[in-house]
Structure 1
Amino acid sequence: MERFLDNKVALVTGGSRGIGAGVATRLAEHGADVALTYRDHADSADAVAERIKGAGRRALPIRADSADPGAVTTAVDRVVAEFGRLDVLVNNVGVFPVAPLESLDLDTFDEAMAANVRAPFLAAKAAAGHLADGGRIVTIGSHVAERVAFPGFSIYATTKAALTGLTKALGRELGPRGITVNLVSPGPTDTDLNPADGPNAELIKDLTALGRYGSPDEIAAAVAFLASEGGAYVTGTTITVDGGFNI
């Protein structure tokens, strides 16, 4: 695999499983040293770290709860302290509350906003002070920000739609430094939270133009492009990787 990220340092939040693990591994395969945060799954984080090391790169798992504002900032600072720099921030961590409107409460709303919106904002704010000119910020959104095909997504869709505004605003603000800020919005992706053989999988597949789930590595490929020199003129926008779910 082409090593166009040699001598770069990346931080992937929520990098122990699913899309985050795919992104962390792919960036390492392209040459980056990679730090990843996790909250509960230390074994999974260690396994991803071993894959990063297997690609010949340095790895740094960091236990951090993205719902804790202090932990978000501390994680960014620790990466810079241990690796000496930060070039790519990938905001991947998030929670996935799905329930009928009448059963949702304020605590659930606040928790989702804290993890899905406040944490990417705080991570970007902390990273901006360390990123060299030409740095990259990529946030993982969701296709449900554009199309809500099923009931129960009121909170989740709200948080993911908010990331569009955040991405555009940060892209404008950091653009003079050559720092690009973009959003990658996956469609149905085969992870442990939404497996391709799950109870509603056949219906979900039928709603995509390609008739299948994506893989974490396919989402990671879009992130890697945005992190590369080829993505230097792309900012403030959304790349939707959803197999045609939203067309």
Structure 2
Amino acid sequence: MGSLTGRTALVTGGSRGIGRGIAERLGRDGAVVGVHYGSNEAAAKETVAAIEAAGGTAFPLGVELGTPGDAAALWSAFDQHADGLDILVNNAGGGTSQSFAEIEEAEYDRLFAVNAKAPFFIARLGLDRLRDGGRVINISTGLTRSAAMPDLIAYAMSKGALDLFTTYLSKVVGGRGITVNAVAPGIVDTDVNADWLRTSEQAWAGAAALSALGKVGTPADIADVVAFLASDDGRWVTGHWIDATGGSLT
């Protein structure tokens, strides 16, 4: 049996990129995985199919985050498939390429609605479903500790709010044996980054050079850290921001 057999997980933004990597890893470890998606149903179904092909169990959940009532709608959809939760991974996030001088108020509000408000209320409304001894894992970014990409100031600010939420929530739910941690990726080879990361050998080499290991991260690199925190081995780690940037901050 896998280390997570008998447990149920929900991964927001689980249909692509880092989220898909996490969903597939938790599925391989034995968890039943709710694969949330915002609009790309086909990608979510592909992720579910991949989990099932590897011998796991999963189901898709389609709810657009960052909109009024999003958390309630997500849990309503979840309740149709499962009667409780053990692992919540707040991975879904919005990004921006607009600089401080260019970003508009609507874009700023969208970033905070998806990256900070949605995880807050997903966790709050999910507490009566989350079993004692459960896990909450928030996907942050190395940019909350480094201003390496100053044009992403609003994005970093929204993830900074998520980091604080992680610390405070760990105190709120610790009495139930629930751990809460944030995992912070650096540059990861996903379709979100493809427009600039895969444009040339120079772009790839420049990104790899930021890591002490001289590599660009993969979704599996992040998923393995999440899997540790989700497992019994991670039971004594809570309230932490975990650097998963491959040494980009050293």
TM-score by length of 1: 0.95
Q: Is the 1:22–1:216 contact (alpha carbons within 8 Å) kept by the matching residues of 2?
A: yes
Task: Provide the aligned C-alpha RMSD in A.
Answer: 1.3
Q: CA deviation at 1:182?
A: 0.5
Counterpart of 2:137 in structure 1 is 138
Mapping for residues 2-21 of structure 1, pairs under 5 Å: 3-21=2-20
Q: Return the alpha-carbon distance in structure 1 between the equivalents of residues 249 and 75 of structure 2.
A: 34
Q: Secondary structure at the match of 1:74?
A: helix
Q: Return the alpha-carbon distance in structure 2 between the equivalents of residues 68 and 85 of structure 1.
A: 24
Counterpart of 1:215 in structure 2 is 218
Identity %: 37
Q: Quick one: structure 1 residues 198 and 184, their matched pair in 2 at CA, closer, same or farther if it must change by over 3 Å?
A: farther
Q: Return the alpha-carbon distance in structure 1 between the equivalents of residues 108 and 178 of structure 2.
A: 31
Q: Is the 2:70–2:118 contact (alpha carbons within 8 Å) kept by the matching residues of 1?
A: no
Q: Secondary structure at the match of 1:61?
A: strand
Q: Is the 2:30–2:56 contact (alpha carbons within 8 Å) kept by the matching residues of 1?
A: yes
Q: Return the alpha-carbon distance in structure 2 between the equivalents of residues 39 and 164 of structure 1.
A: 23
Q: Is the 2:208–2:215 contact (alpha carbons within 8 Å) kept by the matching residues of 1?
A: yes
Structure 2 runs not aligned, ≥5 long = none
Counterpart of 1:170 in structure 2 is 169
Counterpart of 2:249 in structure 1 is 246
Task: Look up the equivalent residue of 1:197 and give its one-letter code.
Answer: R
Structure 1 runs not aligned, ≥5 long = none
Q: Return the alpha-carbon distance in structure 1 between the equivalents of residues 68 and 89 of structure 2.
A: 17
Q: Deviations over 1:147-178 (max 9, x none)?
A: 02123111011011111110001000000000
Q: CA deviation at 1:80?
A: 3.4
Q: Deviations over 1:183-233 (max 9, x none)?
A: 000011000111352453322221211111111011000111100001111
Is 1:225 the counterpart of 2:224? The answer is: no
Q: CA deviation at 1:27?
A: 0.2
Moved more, 141-150 or 197-206: 197-206
Q: CA deviation at 1:11?
A: 0.4
Q: Return the alpha-carbon distance in structure 2 between the equivalents of residues 96 and 110 of structure 1.
A: 12
Aligned length: 246
Q: CA deviation at 1:141?
A: 0.4
Structure 1: 4+ residue segments shifted above 6 A: none
Q: CA deviation at 1:79?
A: 2.1
Q: Secondary structure at the match of 1:83?
A: coil
